[in-house]
Amino acid sequence: MERIFNFSFAIVFINFQVRIYTMCLAVPSKIIEINDNVAKVDVDGVIRETSIMLMDDIKIGDYVIVHAGFAINKIDEQVALQTLEDMRTILASEANQANPLNTHL
C-alpha cells in the first residue's frame, strides 16, 4: 500500500511529497461461524467478521487468508498452524531483543 502526503507551505513556497510504503501481513484465520456471505473468523484469539463472497466451498473449521475484509484463499490447517507458531516465535524474539532485561523470563 502506498500513501502519499502533500505538504504545502505558502510562506516559503515549498511543495513536496512524502511517500510511506506499508505492507499487509496475511495471518491465517479460522472460520468459526458462517451467515450467508459473512463469516466470523478467529485470528489467533481475536474474533472478526469477513466476507466469504469470493470463496467457494468454505465450511466451519477451514483456515483462510483475509485481505481487506475478504477471505481470498483457503489454506491447509497444518500450514496455518505452523505459520501462527512461526509468527509467535518471531514476535517473542523481537520482544526479547527490544528489552534484553527479559532474558530471565
Alpha carbons 42 and 49: distance in angstroms, whole number: 9
- Which pLDDT score, from 0 to 100, does residue 24 have? 67
| Alpha-carbon 42 to chain mean position | 12
| Total Cβ atoms within 10 A of residue 63 | 22
Q: Where are the domains of the chain?
A: 26-97
Give the model confidence (pLDDT) of 4-59 as tens digits: 544 444 444 455 566 666 666 778 999 999 999 999 999 888 999 999 999 999 99
pTM: 0.67
Q: For residue 16, give the amino acid letter.
A: F
For 33, the grid coordinates are 461461524
Give the model confidence (pLDDT) of 80-104 as tens digits: 999 999 988 988 887 777 666 655 5
| Total Cβ atoms within 10 A of residue 53 | 10
Q: What is the architecture, at CATH level 2, of domain 26-97?
A: Roll (2.30)
| Of 78, 79, 32, the residue nearest 58 (C-alpha) | 32
